[in-house]
Structure 1
């Protein structure tokens, strides 16, 4: 059983992690991709979660692992086909997430027209902070995100850059997947993604939300 903690000490059992692809135009551009007109989702298993100060392990089948800092949204109640105007009522809290991506594996599989789950959903690929209650975050669409590797700033963005807002993402996601209490939505990453290698220390922070420090092994 994989769980996350809300800072009021409520524990949530995680069911699934929904990630949105190319939700920051700057990130899509740096990888040579066009942003999709509608949200596109992929999944990470709950078994990919690690917590603050733990170590992420790069699998031996990859030589190029990238970091991607993201605002994580914790779903607080069941929902299906949720209207946009009701979507924020389903948010229990916000946290800091890092979507670790095996970029070489992903690219190779994409070129072959194959699914790339093993590039995104491997064990330890989803470091997460504790979550703050949604009521403590006045505007989740205006939050400063940063990520540093060994003290060097790599990513520096703002959630205002998201192409699809949190209500958009929740509404669209719930038309595809039933959302359940404890599900987590990763909302995309700004530009500046880059490699991490064993021995690196990665620090991510979202101002007004939380921080996350992990090691790479």
Structure 2
């Protein structure tokens, strides 16, 4: 028969931006981005797949059309200074109009996900494809891609895309980090957009 464990996790997710300065007229709208999560699992005492707790709690944040990017900001800034100097710049335009995007991708210094539906997203860092079993997902994600990413970068920052407009302003911020503990120098990214009962919602899943 075996022995099983019933695990119940309950938590309220609020976008990280809500912890900063919020204009008074925006505060009443925050309720639409809050998600009350119940995770109920019946697990064998001998697990063949990771549990939700082993995967770790995701980053929950609001992203606009510029999406987000993932990078070790210090390493990326060192490369940017070497190639483009020490000036502040609109990195969004530089990525579109020069070869710097291909260079950063080639060096394994940047994962870029933009052109997204503006809303709130979960960002998970998964070690392997089998971890998908313990996070919400769809059979057919709206976006998926593969990026070269340096294997020595294990805790990169997840940065809202609007900070590309004024590089390197984001270096002075305390930004959330995602754990990428997998092997190799490839990061697979999938974006899953899921509808809820009242307002839209979305989920981003990242695996290395």
TM-score category (smaller protein): under 0.3
With normalisation by structure 2, the TM-score equals 0.27
Structure of higher CA gyration radius: 2
Bigger relative contact order (CA 8 A; separation at least 6): 1
